[in-house]
Chains A and B, each alone.
Chain A
Amino acid sequence: MSEHEQYAEDLALYAMDALRGEDREKLEQHLATCASCRLGLEQLRGDSALLALSAAGPRPPQRARKRLLEAIAREPRIVAPPTGERRAWWGWLGWAATAAMLILALSLWRENFALRETLASASSTAAENARQLEELRKIAAPIIEPEAQRVTLVAAKTPPQPQGKAFYLRKRNSLLFLANNMPALPPAKAYELWLIPPTGAPIPAGVFKPDAHGSAIVVNPPLPAGAEVKAFAITVENEAGSSAPTSPVLMMGAGE
């Protein structure tokens, strides 16, 4: 197909991570909508793998094996539940990345509803995307629809504690935050979520007030691009939010 010729050479470079700058951005945008180029990319990656396999060299030292197996034994393990026969198309993503993708898909869906409908009728690829977005919307609905019930489970005889869970995907600037059992606040006050970078000041990441059940959600607050996260924290601020924390940290968590 002639419209893909312009991308054919860029694909080879991209397969080896040698495409940078504007060309890279243009290609990535194209790849998002072009299944045949994605397939071409896979094949070129396979070709480049042949280069990798031609590397000859000494075997690694024995201590490396010991070091790895010891490191693995120290890792916390979450055993995955047995997977069903049919994998969902997003099944290969981790749960956190899936949640973040949901948010991105939802914001795209909300903002581009009309455009999506037009595109869906224009080509089968777009129709498939729309179907997938619809599936994602269904999944996300119990998380963010106001009438959804939220339940926090804790060990028996333990009163539920305030709890927050943040899902952050740096490369897409996507944040989903869920809070449960947050105490009610005086009027004119709100909780503020902060993204704590490895260095520098805490970054405002959304203001929220718990509902009658103590639950709240923050979806895709504006964040500086590519912010690195060391931890998240919550303080109490005035309703309108603050650009810097003015009260002690109430809740905090670092990455899992």
Chain B
Amino acid sequence: MSSQQRQGIPADLALASGLKTGDQGAMAELYDRYSSVVYAVALRVLGDTGAAEDVLQEVFLQLWRNPSAFDAARGNFGSWLAVVTRNRAIDSLRKRRPETDIENVVLSVAPDLAGDAERARAAEKVRGVMGAMLPAQRSALEMAYWEGMSHSEIANKTGEPLGTVKTRIRAGLIALRKAFQS
């Protein structure tokens, strides 16, 4: 994908801008680039293909209705979309109303994850970091991230103090960040 981008195929940001003028072709292109990321995240959270498909639909439709939602995010589009999808999927899993509007998801991401190849490499690296983590840290991170458990729910489930849960989760995210700083 990135080599294609070097050949002048529209960058994600240009496509996202196209959404603002109602360009359905831009939406189709963004869908083709990112639907697998969105679907994979939704499926991982929900474990159900029908529910994952609904979240897929909802995320892209929300994007179409809020074409400026990505503007404030300084990360790249794929990462932003992945975070938005995970949040929506967790809300669906926990059967609660969304607490954060998609316009409020602002993130900054250091690694370049613009293309399929970069994303695949990053995914490998993340799986490596997670595999090398202490089990208690990995499971705290996964419970928070993929199951949407709150810190007190994790503490109750693991029997560990709240402070320990908080420390583990922060340390886990920092470990991921460090793996991409070289």
Contact = CB atoms under 8 A, between A and B. Distances in A.
Interface in A21-71: 21, 23, 39, 41-61, 64-65, 67-69, 71
A15 B173 contact: yes
Given A8-B170, A13-B166, A53-B122, A46 B79 contact: yes
B166 A10 contact: yes
B39 A59 contact: yes
Contacts of B49: 61
Contact of B119 (A17, A53, A94): A53
A100 to B, nearest CB: 12
A75 B62 CA distance: 11
Give the bracket for the number of chain B residues in contact with chain A: 35 or more
A20 B90 CA distance: 14
Contact of B35 (A48, A65, A80): A65
Interface on chain B toward A: helix, strand, loop, or mixed SS?
A: helix
Interface stretch (A85-93, A138-146, A153-161, A198-206): A85-93
A225 interface: no
Contact of B130 (A18, A41, A54, A91): A54
Given A59-B39, A92-B103, A80 B74 contact: no
B107 A18 contact: no
A79 B68 CA distance: 12
B131 to A, nearest CB: 11
Contacts of A65: 28, 31-32, 35
A60 to B, nearest CB: 4
A85 to B, nearest CB: 13
A50 B57 CA distance: 22
Contacts of A83: 20
Nearest to A45: B107
Contacts of A51: 126, 141, 145-146, 176
A47 B176 contact: yes
B108 A42 contact: yes
Contacts of A77: 22
B56 interface: yes
Nearest to A67: B57
Contact of B72 (A19, A21, A92): A92
Contacts of A42: 74-75, 106-108
Interface of A: 8-13, 15-21, 23, 39, 41-61, 64-65, 67-69, 71-73, 75, 77, 79-80, 83, 87, 91-94, 97
Given A60-B38, A92-B69, 7 more contacts: A18-B150, A52-B37, A55-B37, A57-B43, A60-B35, A65-B28, A69-B24
5 contacts: A12-B166, A53-B82, A55-B37, A80-B21, A92-B69
